[in-house]
């Protein structure tokens, strides 16, 4: 059976696809915002989100992903000389989680600056710590 689509049908289908592409992100983002609201977090990183983030667990040195990226609390703990290199024009000794592009400060926990790292979702890292994925902030 030879079926040719008419121009009208083509544009009708195109309109449906474009409409779905425009509406779908709004539907998904509203669910995300509803979930954040349900958890008691503000969507823009306000005070309630930061204080809730301080309750996240700390990354443990030598375990799981932390071992894979050589996460250490002090530069002196890095044993592999090949990792002690300049990155993005920043000397190894000056590279810390606090000045990494993956890091966002949350606050202070147990007297130390802590923040969230994109490498370790739902966990906190110490500001003066370091790992092999360090990247210079833009």
Q: What is the pLDDT of residues 94-123, one digit of tens each?
A: 999 999 999 999 999 989 999 999 999 999
Taking only the tens place, the pLDDT of each residue in 59-103 is 999 999 999 999 999 999 999 999 999 999 999 999 999 999 999
Q: What CATH architecture does domain 53-126 belong to?
A: Irregular (4.10)
- Backbone torsion region of residue 39, taken as left when φ is above 0, otherwise alpha when ψ lies between -120 and 50, otherwise beta: alpha
For residue 46, the SS3 value is coil
**Residue in the structure block whose two tokens are 């979702």:** 121
* Sequence ranges of the domains in the chain: 1-39, 53-126
Q: Encoding tokens for residue 40?
A: 């008691």
């Amino acid at each position: 059976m030879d079926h040719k689509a008419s121009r009208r049908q083509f544009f009708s289908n195109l309109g449906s696809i474009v409409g779905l592409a425009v509406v779908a992100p709004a539907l998904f983002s509203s669910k995300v915002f509803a979930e954040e609201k349900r958890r008691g977090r503000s969507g823009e990183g306000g005070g309630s989100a930061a204080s809730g983030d301080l309750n996240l667990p700390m990354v443990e040195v030598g375990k799981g992903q932390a071992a894979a990226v050589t996460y250490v609390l002090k530069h002196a703990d890095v044993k592999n000389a090949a990792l002690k290199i300049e990155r993005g024009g920043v000397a190894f000794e000056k590279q810390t989680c606090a000045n990494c592009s993956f890091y966002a400060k949350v606050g202070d926990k147990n007297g130390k600056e802590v923040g969230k790292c994109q490498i370790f979702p739902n966990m906190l890292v110490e500001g003066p710590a370091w790992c092999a994925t360090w990247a210079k902030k833009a």
